[in-house]
C-alpha cells in the first residue's frame, strides 16, 4: 500500500449504516451543536431581558418627567408665626382637588385665636366636626394651581373668613398649615 492510499483509508470513517463518509472523525459533533444552540438560546433570553429593562427605564423616565410631589413643612415645633396667637388642635384634612384629574392633598390646619379667648376655644372644640367638614369642602373645591406656595396667604385669608362666618361666639385671627402635602404630578 502506498502512503496516499493509507491516508485515504484513514480519512474514510464508517458510519452505523455501513456507509463511508469522507472527512475527519468528529467526536460528539451533534453534542457540540446542541451546546451551541443552548448557548445561543440563553444569549437571546439575556438580550431580551436587557432590552425590556432598558425600555422600562426609558418609559418610566419619560412618564415621570416633571412629576413631583411637593411636601412643605410650613410650621414645626420651633416655628412661631408672627403675632400673638394661641392655636387650637390640629385639624387634619385629606382629599382630592376639583381638577379634572383630581390631585391628592393632605393638609394639617391650625386655627389661631387671641390668647385667653375662652369663648373661641370652647366654640372651636364644640364645632370641630363642622370645621373639619368646612376645611375638607374648602380644599376639595380648589384647583391644584390655587394650592401653590405663592397663593398660600390668600388661601389662609379666605379660609379664616369662612371659618369666622360659621362661628357665633368667637373669632379666628390666624390660620397656619403645619403640614401641606400636595401631589402635583
SS3 string, 43-73, reads HHHHHHHHHHHHHHHHHHHHHCCCCCEEEEC
Number of folded domains in the chain? 2
- 74: containing domain: 69-183
Q: Are residues 59 and 78 in the same domain?
A: no
Single out the residue in 63, 80, 110 at which a domain terminates: 63
Query: How would you write the pLDDT of the chain (185 residues) with one tens digit per residue?
Result: 454 444 444 444 444 444 445 545 454 567 878 889 999 999 999 999 999 999 988 887 777 665 544 444 444 444 555 667 788 888 899 999 998 888 898 999 999 999 888 998 899 999 999 999 999 999 999 998 888 889 999 999 999 999 999 999 889 999 999 888 888 66
CATH of the domain at 133: 3.30.479.30
Shared domain for 166 and 94, answered yes or no, is yes
The reply to whether 49 and 95 lie within a common domain is no
C-alpha cell at 94: 385629606
Pairing of strands 86-87, 69-72: unpaired
pTM score over 0.85 = no
Where does a domain end: 63, 84, 108?
63
Task: Please check whether residues 92 and 35 belong to one and the same domain.
Answer: no
Amino acid at each position: 500500500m502506498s502512503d496516499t492510499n493509507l491516508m485515504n483509508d484513514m480519512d474514510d470513517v464508517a458510519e452505523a449504516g455501513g456507509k463511508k463518509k469522507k472527512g475527519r472523525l468528529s467526536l460528539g459533533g451533534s453534542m457540540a451543536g446542541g451546546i451551541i444552540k443552548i448557548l445561543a438560546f440563553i444569549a437571546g433570553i439575556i438580550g431580551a431581558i436587557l432590552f425590556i429593562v432598558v425600555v422600562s427605564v426609558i418609559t418610566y423616565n419619560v412618564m415621570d418627567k416633571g412629576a413631583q410631589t411637593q411636601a412643605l413643612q410650613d410650621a414645626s415645633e420651633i416655628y412661631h408665626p408672627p403675632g400673638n396667637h394661641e392655636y387650637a388642635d390640629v385639624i387634619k384634612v385629606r382629599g382630592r382637588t376639583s381638577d379634572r384629574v383630581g390631585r391628592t392633598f393632605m393638609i394639617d390646619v391650625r386655627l389661631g385665636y387671641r390668647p385667653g379667648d375662652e369663648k373661641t376655644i370652647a366654640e372651636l372644640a364644640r364645632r370641630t366636626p363642622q370645621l373639619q367638614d368646612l376645611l375638607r369642602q374648602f380644599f376639595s373645591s380648589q384647583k391644584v394651581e390655587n394650592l401653590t406656595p405663592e397663593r398660600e396667604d390668600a388661601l389662609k385669608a379666605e379660609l379664616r373668613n369662612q371659618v369666622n362666618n360659621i362661628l357665633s361666639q368667637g373669632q379666628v385671627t390666624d390660620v397656619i398649615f403645619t403640614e401641606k402635602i400636595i401631589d402635583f404630578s
